[in-house]
Structures are given as structure tokens and as C-alpha cells.
Amino acid sequence: MSDFDSNPDAGRDSSREQDRKERERRRGIAAYQGALEAVLAIVIAAGVGFWADSHFGTAPRWLIVGTCVGFGSFVLRLFRMRKLFDEGPSQADRTNRRGSGPKG
């Protein structure tokens, strides 16, 4: 006699556990993506500022402006990530799936 014959809820429990693990995995991926985007915002904005300073000869004016804009973007992204994770995994899953799927 198998586990499914003796316990009809065994398949359902296994499915729930797999769903829970999948949600945790998606949250981890979303956290990694958000952190990477936040850090890259500073690097990209500072790089644009550095380029502008070297192009226009205004060092370090645009580097400082770019770094401030990048840092502001960093903070904004972290606040959005916190809000996303405070709302719970179901909201995080819906937000991650928005860009995917059939159009129409």
C-alpha cells in the first residue's frame, strides 16, 4: 500500500510544500533583482556624471549630481522592494508575472 492509498492528503500536502518553496524562490529572485538594480542605479548615474564632466570640463559638478540622482534612485528602489515584500508573497508573485504572459 502506498502513501497515497493510506493518506489521501499526502499529495495535497506535497503540492502545498512545493508551492511554498516556489514562492520563497521567487521572493529570493525578486530581492536579488531589486538589490542589483538599486546598486547599478548609483554606478550608472555616477558614470553618466563622470562622462558629462569629462565631456564638458566641469569636474566634479556632474559627477556629484549623477551620484546624488543614483543614490535617490537607490533609496526609492529599496522602499519599493520593502513595500512589495511587506504586502506578502501573493502580491510579489503578481508583480513579477505582470511583464510575462500572453499579450492581448
Region of 101 (left: φ > 0; alpha: ψ -120 to 50; beta: rest) is left
Residue range of the domain that includes 59:
8-94
Tens place of pLDDT per residue across the chain (104 aa): 555 556 656 667 788 999 999 999 999 999 999 999 999 999 999 999 999 999 999 999 999 999 999 999 999 999 998 888 887 655 555 555 555 555 54
Residue whose C-alpha cell reads 492528503 in the numeric block: 9
In a domain, 104, yes or no: no
**Domain for residue 42, yes or no?**
yes
In a domain, 3, yes or no: no
pLDDT of residue 21: 93
57 DSSP assignment: T
* Any domain includes 59: yes
Contact 50, 66 (CB under 8 A): yes
Q: Enter the C-alpha cell of residue 83.
A: 513595500
For residue 54, being part of any structural domain is answered with yes
Looking at residue 72, what is its pLDDT? Answer: 96
Q: Please report whether residue 88 resides in a domain.
A: yes
Is residue 91 within 8 Å of residue 84, measured between CB atoms?
Answer: yes
Residue at 103 is within a domain:
no
Report how many domains make up the chain: 1
Q: What is the pLDDT of residue 10?
A: 61
